[in-house]
Structure 1
Amino acid sequence: MVIWLGQFWLMGRTVPTWRNRIEAELTNLDDFRRALNSVDRNALDRLINGVRTRRTAGGMLPAHDSWKPMLLAMLLECCSKIAELERVIETLIDEV
């Protein structure tokens, strides 16, 4: 059995791999991404990279909806950035 999933051909599988499902969903965001201004486009790119970085963890969730693990990964990306900025601020405060 061969299945066409957006830009991927899947052979011998009835269920697409987690990686292929995520990449297909991210590819679907291309038109939205192009319509954004450069600041928002960069922010979306960081969130998308966060999803790709946490792809393995997302595959551990038994989700039929790809967006739930993707949104969790995006939230984690935001939280990680906030924590990093808090550390920088604390360091700067300590130096003063």
Structure 2
Amino acid sequence: MGRTNPTYRDRLDALEADWGPYRRSLRQHEQGPFDRLWEHARAHADASGMYNPADPMQTVLLSVCLEQERAIQTLTERVSSLEAD
């Protein structure tokens, strides 16, 4: 049997594990936000897998930026509606 290539999700899990020592060195109140960044990356794993970059960190960072942009948009719309009232 031949070797199988790891899936994007496998590569993402390995990359997150590589960042484990960094996470452990963060203060406890910073670990939750750090974990949420990886949740953003996992939320876009299907699209990232279709792109299948040589370096998965590219799509991790883009996924994080995308989720932060969505949050900014939601908050901006909420502020606008509160100001209109």
Q: What TM bracket, shorter-length normalisation? A: 0.7 to 0.9
Identity of aligned residues (%): 28
Query: 1:93 matched to which residue of 2?
Result: 83
Which structure would you say has the larger RCO, counting Cα contacts within 8 Å and 6 or more residues apart?
A: 2
**Structure number having the greater strand percentage:** 1
Moved more, 18-27 or 80-89: 80-89
Matched, 1:78 2:68: yes
* Paired residues for 1:10-89 under 5 Å: 12-13=3-4, 15-89=5-79
Tell me which protein shows more helix as a share of its residues: 2
Partner SS for 1:91: helix
> Partners in 1 of 2:42 and 2:15 — Cα distance?
12
Deviation at 1:83, TM superposition (A): 1.1
SS in 2 for 1:65: coil
SS at match of 1:59: helix
Aligned residues: 85
Secondary structure of 2:50 counterpart = coil
Indicate conservation of the 8 Å contact 2:8/2:52, yes or no.
no
1:25 is paired with a residue of what secondary structure?
helix
Q: TM-score, normalised by structure 1?
A: 0.76
Moved over 6 A (4+): none
User: TM-score when scaled to structure 2?
Assistant: 0.85
